Amino acid sequence: MAQTPKRSAELSRSQFNRRQVSSAASIQGVRYAPVIPEPNPEWHYIAATIYASLRESGQSDFYQSSDWALAYSLCDDLSRFKREEEAHDVAVARWMKWHEIDPEDRKEQGFHPDFAPKIPKGGSAIKLETVMSGLSRLAVTEVDRLKVRMELQEPSDPEASAEVIAIEDAKKRLGA
């Protein structure tokens, strides 16, 4: 298994400098304001949560319309997968209940007396892997971001910065 890249603060200076020098120049283009599709209100809550979190995450500062379209498509697929899994789980529980009920009581319980309920297929593991791979390409997790050398920094607090400056000025005046 490949080792997770370290944040630049965790690297020794020589490693950090080598990384800076070894990075290839990128092709430059024009950055346009992205069109962000509204989430589908019918999505599974997990897919909706992931999509909403992308809007609030720092890596989305780099997203263009095509990235948002991909995120929308992936969340749509994830939602469908989750719904299929839930339908499968409900059907399995219903099937198990059918087998526990006395055959004479099945009709009263809303079951066919002779035929067990069918169990639909659950979500495809390959579909889930495809969704997870796509989310990885959007640098959704910290590990994904480190792999593409993207580090999100804490936002600077203007008041804290002013406090630090005031403390530094006081130290200079006191000769410390």
CB 60 within 8 A of CB 40: no
Residue 64 binned pLDDT confidence (cut-offs 50, 70, 90) = very high
CB 117 within 8 A of CB 111: yes
pTM, two decimals, is 0.68
Domain boundaries, the chain: 32-151
* Two tokens, residue 153: 């920094």
Average pLDDT over residues 18-26: 57
* pLDDT above 80 (res 143): yes
More confident residue, 4 or 46: 46
User: How many angstroms separate the most distant Cα atoms in the chain?
Assistant: 94
Name the nearest CA neighbour of 94 among 78, 73, 109, 72. Answer: 109
| Cβ neighbours of residue 99 closer than 8 Å, sequence gap 6 or more | 116
Distance, CA of 134 to CA of 130 (rounded, Å): 6
